[in-house]
Chains A and B, each alone.
Chain A
Amino acid sequence: MKHLPKHLRPRWRYIAVGVESWSDAEVGRRAFQRALWYSAGNLLGDAGSADADLTLLSFSHADGTGEAVVRVRHGHVDDARAAIACVSEVDGEPVGILVRGISGTVRACEERYMGRATPSSTQRDVAFEGAERPAVARGDACDVRVESGRVGATTFDTE
């Protein structure tokens, strides 16, 4: 179809989102998109969700850390921010969300907020609460496996 004249095209904002999870969690692009839309649907309703759009433009996730660019309709950024903040799980895996910033173009968004070097993760045993336990360390963060599950610690805790 012929594209719209400029004044009728929707105006977009692009939200850079940092995603964090436990280091052994797998978070997929489709699952994250689904979580976003569910969250928007639940918080804003169908109408608000359609207004905000919240299409995932790019997504990457590995070793418990990731980032995404989310497209939002201009003027609905606050609603979108609330919906994004309400994403607490993706496929049953808890995720932490941080909005890094908002740009008017995808390119500015990527240049300014994306592609931050993340330290590579290493698997090793650390001393935690009086025992050697398997852990995954990534930079300062250190996810330790204990009897009751996982504990988020830092290398500051374990050294």
Chain B
Amino acid sequence: MYEAVHAHPDGETTVARHAATAARHGYDGIVVRTRDALEPTGGGESVAADGDGGGGSAATDRDGSPVTDPDALREEYGIDAVDAVEIDADDPTSASGAVGNYRSDRTVVCVVGGDDAVNRFAVEQSRVDVLVRPMADGGDFNHVLAKAARDNGVRVEFDFGPALRATGGKRVRALADLRKLREIVDHYDAPYVVSANARSHLQLRAPRELIAVGEAIGFDAETVREGLRAWGDLVERNRERRSEGFIEPGVRRGRYEEDGC
């Protein structure tokens, strides 16, 4: 199971600390939503190679800046750190530009919802992987968006953050929104993910805890589990798509006979 986190400078915790905590909580990997927190893998192969080439000195030259190399993190904590980006745009036009910019060098591309026009844009773009926090800040979701999300394979996020951390009326509204979203997503079989939206290592919760909270607020245990696994599936799919042999779904460059007769 994977969890998607906000890392320093967006959150209060570096990727390494998130990785250490997530490993203790039993996650297989973390998706780092913060653009600056992790080096992009692939796309900029040469850049990554440069970084590795200077590996020895780079480690000492980092000048105490947080570790951003996914391979080093995997070696240290045994956990998969995935480069992602969250696009927080005010209108579809700027979101579209940002999606185009980041699609080629990030494994996971998320669009922050919370605005009707941006929600609509995100679910209609198959280049977008996840529409995150669709109900935050007065955003809304309906059957049209659910159908579009299903047809374009855009995952809709169930944000458990307010359920875990908010109190009072704010939490009540967030739970009501979650229920509405759940009913729509359920009915149209739209793909989804689940996350606690942790901004620090203290906000991370283990999968079983998230499942328990999900059950308490009306989700099926299996739905939550599936939502946590979905991040991993998404990462795997995108990595395959970006691998060299991939041509299109179902078609990949494989072995062939050298002197075909």
Residue of A nearest to B215 (CB): A78
- Inter-chain contact B76/A156, CB cutoff 8 Å: yes
Contact A85–B205 (Cβ < 8 Å): yes
A89 to B109 alpha-carbon distance, docked (Å): 31
Name the residue on A nearest B199 (C-beta).
A94
Given that A42-B171, A94-B203, A96-B202 are contacting pairs, would A86 and B66 also be in contact in the complex, using a CB cutoff of 8 Å?
Answer: no
Stretch at the interface among B132-140, B142-150, B160-168, B178-186: B160-168
What 0/1 pattern do residues 196 to 228 of B give for CB contact below 8 A with A? 000011111110111011011100000000000
Partner of B14, one of A79, A126, A151: A151
Interface residues on A, range: 35 or more
B195 at the binding interface (Cβ < 8 Å): no
Residues of B contacting A84 in the complex (Cβ-Cβ under 8 angstroms): 209
A88 touches B12 (CB 8 A): no
Q: Decide: A99 near B206, CB < 8 A? Known: A88-B165, A141-B20.
A: yes
Name B residues whose Cβ lies closer than 8 Å to a Cβ of A: 8, 12-14, 16-17, 20-21, 24-25, 63-67, 72, 76, 163-165, 167, 171, 200-206, 208-210, 212-213, 215-217
Residue ranges of A at the interface with B (Cβ–Cβ < 8 Å): 20-22, 42-44, 78-79, 81-86, 88-89, 94-99, 126-131, 140-142, 149-154, 156-158
A-B contact pairs, 21 of them (CB 8 A): A22-B202, A44-B216, A81-B208, A82-B212, A83-B216, A86-B163, A88-B202, A88-B203, A98-B25, A128-B66, A151-B12, A152-B200, A152-B202, A153-B17, A154-B14, A154-B16, A156-B16, A156-B67, A156-B76, A157-B17, A157-B64
